[in-house]
Structure 1
Amino acid sequence: MPIQVTAEETISIGASAVVEGPAPEGRCVAVFEDDGDTGYFYAVDPSAGGNPIQDAVHIYNVANVADRDAPSVVQIGWSADSRKVVLLINGHPHAVFDFESKRGFCRTGFPPPSGEGPWSVGGHRWDDAALQLFV
């Protein structure tokens, strides 16, 4: 999976952390946040009017992470066209945003579609095909 990692940080699950990975080119940004209770991944367009957060996906509940006492490496990596981004935790893909098709995928499938579009109107259910966006 050819990606350009623009952010990498070792975190402790459940300790507040924010990891921000800007696209190599363009205005898109992806942000991972652990607020102490949950982990979320955000698709951000700072130039968007109103709320710059375009989509958000749930990554984990801290209480449910089996190895939360071990350090975890969070990486944010972008496709060659700077329009697709993947969240890797310890080298494992947990979420993908496709800024071009306005679609988010995550392994928890949460949150369900809001119906407020234009992002992820079909939901956030994980699909391994999302990784093909980086080939």
Structure 2
Amino acid sequence: MESKVQEQTTPANLSSEVPGTLATSSSPNMGDQPWQEWLGPVVDILAKIPEYVGEFFNEYQKPLTTLGLILLSIVTVKIIVAVLGAVDDIPLLAPLMEIVGLGYSGWFVWRYLLKASNRKELLGEFDALKNQVFGDNG
């Protein structure tokens, strides 16, 4: 009777050779096979990702650059609008900026636009700046 009790209480996965050790399975791990079959192609694809990205960028470099510049300009405009909105919310700063702008516009009209000689001077300065930026086309 004692041996039957011992047989029932001894777990099946313990080795009888050394007490307390797990018995090793004599059959190969069948659960690892599907995992290993999927691992090889995944590792190959992951190893080739930098090559794929490089080829894609080389092939579509101009459109990607154009798209990047468009996105950058949209972000820049949004930031400028946000900054102007923040400045507009500061009390007395927006009216002060309007007064400064009106004052500068008045000075510009007085200095350059009222007299014909001053208009010629302004056109001469504008042409000089245009030639300096775009080159001499004349």
Same structural fold, with TM-score higher than 0.5 when normalized by the shorter chain: no
TM range (shorter): under 0.3
What is the TM-score normalised by the length of structure 1?
A: 0.15
